[in-house]
Structure formats: C-alpha cells, structure tokens
Amino acid sequence: MRAADVPHAKYAPFITSIPYLIRLKQCLCDYYAQQHPHNSKLINALKYASSIPVIFLGHHTKPNSSAQVFHGITQGDLVWQLWLFSAIFNSAFAFAWDLIMDWGLVQTDATETTTRMRLRKDLYFSDPLYYIAAVGVNGSLRLLKIGSHVYHVHPICVDVAEIVRRWIWVVFRFENEWLKRSYTNTDVELQQRHSAFATSSTTTTNNALYIVPHS
C-alpha cells in the first residue's frame, strides 16, 4: 500500500517535521538571547532547517512497486532530483557537524601558508581506530538512510541502523563533553590556586609593611 493511500498520510510530513522545527526555534532563541551571539547557533539552525525539505519532498518520492517509480515520479523528474540534492546536502551537513562540533574530533593547525586538519590530541580511547571506525559507521549509516528511500530496504533494518548510529553518536558526544568539563574544572582549580596565592602574597606583603624593627 502506498503512503498516499493511507488515511491522513498527507499530515505525516508535518508531524515528522515538528521535532526539527522545535530544535530550529531553540537554536534561533539561543542565538538572539546571547549578549555576543556566536555563529555556531545559526549554523546549527541551518542544519535543522535543511531537514524540512528532505521530509516534505521525501513524502512525495517514496518508492512504490519498483525502485524507479515514486508515486508517479521517476528518477529523472525535478521533484526527485530536488529530494536527492536536499537529502545529500542535509546528510553531509549533519555528518560534518557530528565530527567538528558534537564529537570535536577535527582540529586545524593553521600556519602562514597551509592549514591542516587532524584528529584531536586528547582521546579517551587509546587506539585511534575506534574513532576512525565510528566516523566510517556514522557516514555509512547516513548513506544507508538515503539509499533506503531509493531501494527496497526493510524499514526494521533502517530503524535498527539508525538506533546503532545514534548510540555511537551518544558515546563520542559524551566523551567530548567529559573532556571539555575536565579542562574547565582544571582551569578553575588553577585560577583558584593562583588567586589564593596572590591573596596570600598580598597579605604577607601588607603585614611586612607594618613590622617595626626593634632598636
């Protein structure tokens, strides 16, 4: 049965897009609420906004009985091409955001002549292969999600793959936040020690000024 034949199926893209619209609104509110707005909030908002065309165009390009026909729309039609472009753009955008912002795995070394990108130095797992594998699985499962819209892939397989991808995302997202908080706590402790030392030195100096030598 086609999605268009299901009662109230026309409301499906509106319902599906609600979480993305909520996150889009949150990002915009965070951006305008900051005293010194950071562009990362707007970029994150753009990431969620790019999901909306994928949802609505994808609703009209789901395969029927073959991998070539999509509710009367063939792969050569403009609607299908727009969906494919928006899906690839959104997946690439989200993939890059995972690596750079959520996982914090990519660092840049800029010099006067060149800029190199590398894996960050501080890693919880000692073997870098864990991170390389996570990046590969993340990208592959995102491509699988696009491919499942074109070819006949069982929905359960797609759902299980998405659950696995999200769990991997959670692990490395947690690692990144843990490292950030560790550095923040270390900096706070150093600042407190420095302040305590400075206060102690000032007190000692002031007390020394009031010492009257015995004649």
Burial zone of 9 (CB within 10 Å; 0-12 exposed, 13-18 middle, 19+ buried):
middle
Terminus-to-terminus CA distance in the chain, angstroms? 107
Q: Which one has a higher pLDDT value, 110 or 40?
A: 40
For residue 94, give the amino acid letter.
A
pLDDT of 66 above 50:
no
Residue that the structure tokens 């890059």 belong to: 96
- Alpha carbons 204 and 142: distance in angstroms, whole number: 63
CB 62 within 8 A of CB 71: yes
Query: What pTM, to 2 d.p., does this model score?
Result: 0.74
For residue range 13-63, list pLDDT tens digits in order.
Answer: 899 999 999 999 999 999 998 877 778 899 999 999 999 999 998 887 766
Range of 33-42, 63-72, 80-89, 142-151 with top mean pLDDT: 80-89
Task: List Cβ neighbours of 79 (8 Å cut-off, separation of 6 or more).
Answer: 57, 60, 61, 73
- Count of CB atoms situated within 10 Å of the CB of 176: 18
User: How many Cα atoms within 13 Å fall on the side-chain side of residue 77?
Assistant: 13
The tokens of 203 are what?
């007190």
CB 27 within 8 A of CB 101: no
Pairing of strands 73-74, 69-70: antiparallel
